[in-house]
Chains A and B, each alone.
Chain A
Amino acid sequence: MVPTATASDPIVQVEAITLRFGGLTSLSDVSLTQQRGEILAVIGPNGAGKTSLFNCLTGVYHPQEGNITFHDDHGKSVEIVGPKPRFAGLGGKSHVRNHGRKPHQVNRAGIARTFQTSRLFNALTAFENVKIGVESRMHTGPIGAMLRLPRTRHEDRESDARASELLEFVGLRERANDIASSLPYGDRRRLEIARALGTSPQLLLLDEPAAGTNPAEKNELVRLIRKVNDERGVSVLLIEHDMGLVMTLADRIVVLNFGQVIASGVPAEVQQNPAVIEAYLGAPDPEDAYDTSGPAEDGPEK
């Protein structure tokens, strides 16, 4: 999984983004590049701005400065955030200098995500959850649906097949008809990944995939993320607190602290980096050291 060629083939480029909430600067001048096919981990103490970075990448927040560009597998570049001034008149906000895409547009471009606290469609079955993800790539409109045109039925069968295949892939085939809310925690995590994969992403953002899982579930998750990366060729960007998981999974690591990138590199380098050690107060397991500290940030994320 280590990039075979050192030649640069970035899938996403974050260039000097700054995100402010009023007087609070959540991200300042953050830049990072992820190579195609890479598993990149973003770590940092609580309140370092990791989830803010995710929300910028997925169009939930629009940073005031900087660019984010996504390069898809077909050579097309999509500007997720860029300095496109909007028409400042009627309804336009002249103070928003950066133009950002909406979450569904970002998803359409090829970036899918999971959430820190899993956000499944709880009253639906596991199968339906995945199917909704798959169907966002289909084209049936209301007229086609009401008349149940041949194309509609064809798409329906196609998405059924894709959803089954994805449930099989994440190992939830037996759970297909279970209500999402009835699934155990680890299964919910995997179902969320299946739903995200349903939208055929090229880049998958995982927000603390292992949070709240037990060691057995964690091992399975590691295997699943590897499989997503190897078999499906999906690049993975993950936020994680669990250093063990990060060290085994990540090809490269970016360390954030107080909204700034303080280090980046392969796991071994980052572990030795004095700035990183200082940020984590020298504690071997950052989770223990920083469990309660750090300003609570990202309130609006819920």
Chain B
Amino acid sequence: MSTVRAPTPLLRRLWLSTDARRLAACVAGGLVLAVMTGPEGSGTAPTSGFTGSLGNSRVIGFVVFGVVLWLLMTARQRYGTEIRAVSDRLSAAPRRLLPDKRVRGVFYLVLLGIAIGYPTVLNGFWQEVLVDQIGVYVLLALGLNVVVGYAGLLDLGYIAFYAIGAYSAAYWTGALPVHPLFHLNAFYAIPLAVLAAMLAGVILGAPTLRLRGDYLAIVTLGFGEIIEIVANNLQGVTGGAQGVIGIPHFSIHFLGVVYHWGLGSLPYYYLLLGFIVVVLIAFHFLENSRVGRAWVAIREDEVAAESSGINVLKYKVMAFAIGASTSGLAGMVEASKIGFVEPGDFTVQLSILILVLVIFGGMGSLPGAVIGAAVLQFLPQYLRVHPLFGFQQQDLYLYLGAILVVMMIFRPVGVFPSRRRKRELGLAEHGVGSADAMESTTGPIS
């Protein structure tokens, strides 16, 4: 093609420059984003989707976004190692600043104090967001973190256990068309809901966790769909597509202590906070125990784990069951809080959303799961009500998808990665120490 000359040398030079081409791509990406999130076209004015978004002043924001993206990419290319050094130092900062166990303990207590005190000054909307959007999803992310982060199993039907927890709540309190032998106070149904979710986890896990990687993801995806479809269609048992109402709020009558959770969000918030703190402590112990190390071993090298005496299937089922019961607990609390369940709350999209929360925060990291879930669940709500941004709810997954793509490229370990996970990913990237890398040094297998 050397005989074909470019129309003008300048354009040709620009075309040959990677930076210019990348800038063009970034700005084009920004424009596509503007069209996608802008107004819709209609039959009478099919191009209004384009004119309405490109001819509008909001397009400036997206062009700026494209340029900023380009600057970031270029900076990363030029100063990649320096940036990485700084980000590594930043992510190691908490550990450096809080080296003493006692100092760390005080730090956590202060955080807990803020978590207890701050919501009281919020208005009703934010208190509700704290429960429905943040608290419940933090609990869900913590549970999925055990499955995905600790044991390394990809579960795409995680919301199914949440559904089982919610429907258990409805069943034991007599809200479903089918009635149990005796009705329970919602509070005492919690263990039963957790147990039901755990059993579902074991029943699904025991036969399917023999599968590896992709196959397991497909099976769990199918399971999630089955639960949703059953909930939709088993009219006589689940109340069908419109769901069931009348799940009572929690209440305690025990040894003279009487308390009733009402319509307000704050009591539920404190209940959830209590659960989250307990789960955090329990999972922290779990992570640094024999069980946690067995999971790491399985994640790293299943064959070596097996021949070190670890019953791989047992530990995988265990992770699955623990994750499922946490999910069931979240479902139970949410069902009692809002008072109804409907199959529309248990779509595959939600399973994916929780997975995104875990990946964003950093797989296998407890602070990561909490912060990831809290930040990603808080942001859309904030942007939605903020007068400047006017974020649209239906664009949520668009942004989440973009965040996920960007995260996987620039920081695959998540915002707050666990040290082990980070090391594993680092090793995998460099191919150091993997069994394949050793192959060449030992010659053919005897």
Contact = CB atoms under 8 A, between A and B. Distances in A.
A108 B310 CA distance: 9
B290 A145 contact: yes
A196 B308 CA distance: 7
A11 to B, nearest CB: 18
A190 interface: no
A132 B293 contact: yes
Nearest to B292: A145
Contacts of B435: 117, 119, 302
Contacts of A271: none
A140 B434 CA distance: 30
A202 to B, nearest CB: 13
Given A122-B433, A181-B433, A50 B446 contact: yes
Contacts of A50: 446
A84 to B, nearest CB: 20
Contact of B446 (A47, A58, A120): A47
Given A46-B444, A147-B282, A199-B308, A117 B439 contact: yes
B433 A296 contact: no
Contacts of B441: 185, 211-212
A146 interface: yes
A53 B244 CA distance: 61
B427 interface: yes
B286 A145 contact: yes
B303 interface: yes
A104 interface: yes
B2 interface: no
Contact of B433 (A102, A120, A131): A120
Contacts of A212: 438, 441-442
A124 B297 CA distance: 9
A199 B446 contact: no
A123 B290 CA distance: 17
A241 interface: yes
Interface string A45-59: 011101100000010
A122 B283 contact: no
Contacts of B304: 115, 119-121
A184 B326 CA distance: 42
Given A123-B423, A181-B432, A195 B289 contact: no
B104 to A, nearest CB: 17
Contact of A296 (B286, B296, B303, B445): B445
B438 A124 contact: no
Contact of A128 (B286, B289, B293, B312): B293
Contacts of B282: 146-147
B327 to A, nearest CB: 16
A174 interface: no
A136 B310 contact: yes
Contacts of A195: 308
B290 A135 contact: yes
Interface stretch (A16-24, A148-156, A229-237): A148-156
B446 A123 contact: no
A133 B297 CA distance: 10
B424 interface: yes
Nearest to A48: B446
Contacts of A196: 308
Contacts of B438: 117-118, 212
Contacts of A128: 293, 296
B290 A112 contact: no
A142 B286 contact: yes
Interface residues of A, number: 66
A71 interface: no
B307 A113 contact: yes
A179 interface: yes
B294 interface: yes
B433 A180 contact: yes
A66 interface: no
Contact of A156 (B289, B305, B318, B322): B289
Contacts of A297: 445
Given A133-B309, A145-B292, A51 B297 contact: no
Contacts of A103: 303, 306-307
A159 B282 CA distance: 21
B285 interface: yes
Given A122-B300, A124-B296, A140-B290, A301 B445 contact: yes
Contacts of B309: 104, 107-108, 112, 133, 136-137, 199
B33 interface: no
A7 to B, nearest CB: 31
B242 interface: no
A145 B432 CA distance: 32
A138 interface: yes
Contacts of A108: 309
A122 B427 contact: yes
A163 to B, nearest CB: 11
Contacts of B312: 104
Nearest to A296: B444
A140 B286 CA distance: 10
Given A104-B312, A123-B300, A132-B294, A112 B443 contact: no
A297 B436 CA distance: 16
Contacts of A106: 307
24 contacts: A47-B446, A58-B307, A60-B303, A60-B307, A103-B303, A112-B309, A121-B297, A121-B300, A123-B296, A128-B296, A132-B293, A132-B297, A133-B308, A136-B308, A140-B289, A140-B291, A142-B286, A147-B282, A196-B308, A199-B308, A208-B446, A212-B438, A212-B442, A302-B436
Interface of B: 282-283, 285-286, 289-294, 296-297, 300-301, 303-312, 318, 322, 420, 423-424, 427, 432-436, 438-439, 441-446
Given A119-B304, A123-B300, 17 more contacts: A51-B445, A51-B446, A58-B307, A116-B442, A116-B445, A116-B446, A119-B301, A120-B433, A122-B301, A124-B300, A136-B294, A142-B286, A146-B285, A159-B290, A195-B308, A212-B442, A296-B445
